[in-house]
Structure 1
Amino acid sequence: MEINNENYIKKQVIQLKQINGVTRQAFLDEVYPKRVPMIFTGLDIGPCREKWTTDYLAQFGGSADVKIHVSASHQLDFINKNFLYRSLPFDKFVRRAANEDKQFFLCENECYYLRALGDDPRKDIAKIDKQFPRLAQDIVFPDFFDGDSVFSSVFRIASAKVQLWTHYDVMDNLLIQVTGRKRVVLFSPKEVENLYIVGDKSQVLDIDNPDLTQFPKFANVQRYEGMLNSGDILFIPALWFHNIISLEFGVAVNVFWRHLPKEVYDHKDVYGNRDPLPAARATQIVDRALKTLEELPREYADFYARLLIERIKRKAFTDDSFTDKS
């Protein structure tokens, strides 16, 4: 049976739930245990919503060079690298991203994306109060978590229409949309088999018009979708895949925090995107097992690989994990 991509995908959409004015206790008691993404509205994020115009950002964000993604395509593809890394003084970058400066690297319609890094990207974790101390005074983070559990606070700017690749993070985080609007699409960790993952990223770049000949399992995927307006906050639980589309020039800040014991995380990971150490070790063990199976004839390797898969399913899969029971 021929599948109409657009109509089929629309049947799989679950609208993200919104909660207005959620308190710390309500978050911890009613939201956090469910491990499902939600949008929070009506929270005080400080004067940044009104202050962070392009003029203000250019003035108080400084003129230090920042490393940015530059692409002729609005759909950024991290796997195939359809973008270049370039450096610009922050004040000049802001005006380019907002389409106020018509200079360009590749073409007139190129797009820009900044994911702020630490002062030394090899050693330093991104924290807005370190890299942009003056701007950090304008934003207030929700008190949903203990301060000593915070890993990073990542400053982000995207030009209009930029779409980030689908990926997952290993830490819980809040995406605070300060200015501009975003469309957010998320997929449960249980959709991993349908997302064609390489590392922590999906190969399906165009999630609205996927090539179902190349990615047939994507037809089975269920998505959670919502809109972020200025001042809204999206809770993204760890391991949930997310795809972010900037509908207009906008500024956002991600706050990531460690929700597992500290020793589970790789202490050398400054980006916060390496898999937990037990998961990394398990992956290495699987790689060695697969290499060992190559010593057998193909039909034997196929048989024992299937046995291993069934054993993993029986031992490790949890049927009710990551399910919205609300």
Structure 2
Amino acid sequence: MKKIKTALLSYGMSGKVFHAPFLTLHQGFELMGAWERSKKLIQQDYPTVKSYDSLDELLADEVDLVVVNTPIDTHFDYTKQVLLAGKHALVEKAFTTTAAQAEALQQLAQEKGLKLTVYQNRRWDSDLKTVKKVLEDGVLGEIVEAEIRFDRYNPALSPKLWKESDNAGAGVLMDLGSHLIDQALYLFGYPQAVFADIRRLRENSQIDDNIDILLYYTDKRVRLHAGFFNREMTPSYVLQGRKGTFLKHRADVQEDTLKTGAKPNLTDWGTEPPEKAGLLYTEINGQVLRQTVPTQQGNYYDLFEGVYQSITQNVPEPVTAAEGLQVMHVIEAAMRSSQTKQVVQL
């Protein structure tokens, strides 16, 4: 099996929790190390890898793939340098801070013949995979309305100052919103127009922390919401079809399990507790049914398998730059809509 030599651009929570465990699990990747600016931590977990002192040092090494997992407002500059150095790139969400930046990176990757993947790992959550299967099974009939939420109860400001400072990459729209928008486009395609209400609700907040976005389609409406004042969680996925309804809470266990230091596997990883199953209330073959739906198994490993196949077999990336660009177009439209209080056509 061909080994893809891979390096991370940071080893904070993202590198330690979401990337390194899967890169070391997948036999097709060789973790080379991470760029560490101050704290040198990666060798405590992986003694044989390198701790790079600079991006130039990392790019000068025999690295095939670089994971750009730094703050959002650095994505464009770092990814551009990675591509110009002839390396493939896996870029954290949000892809960039503007659609123009996303398009420039897409064009550069095409010119260089390199793979450019956006890390939208939530497509491989157990929740979303279950919703996708319900839609594919057609048990709800034609979908007329859908809602996707990413809610938390956490009124306090984050101690990570870069997350709370007023910069182009900060805010819930870029953070959780990029997940919500990607999931909506993944499930329902590109909308015709956007209406959004984006606010700052936490005390002393400098960034947007509450978003409500309405996506317009010819045959349905899709609402997206994220905020920090939801002590009692409502279902994160609500699908309303002409035949019935499907409700599913956000219950994927992968992030919480990874944070404990547990390592992923290829057997029972990403298995939700049975009591978290979604509720289906619909009519099938003339019979009205109200029952739970077994949850699909989640596994972020499949994203990395897609990256591996895209590089070694020259097939499309699991999340393409074109898809990342579409998300950025919707984000920019949501910003304009909230500012003008008008519907923005796409």
TM bin (shorter chain): under 0.3
Instruction: Give the TM-score normalised by structure 1.
Output: 0.25
Higher relative contact order (CA 8 A, sep 6+): 1
Instruction: Give the TM-score normalised by structure 2.
Output: 0.24
Higher helix share: 2
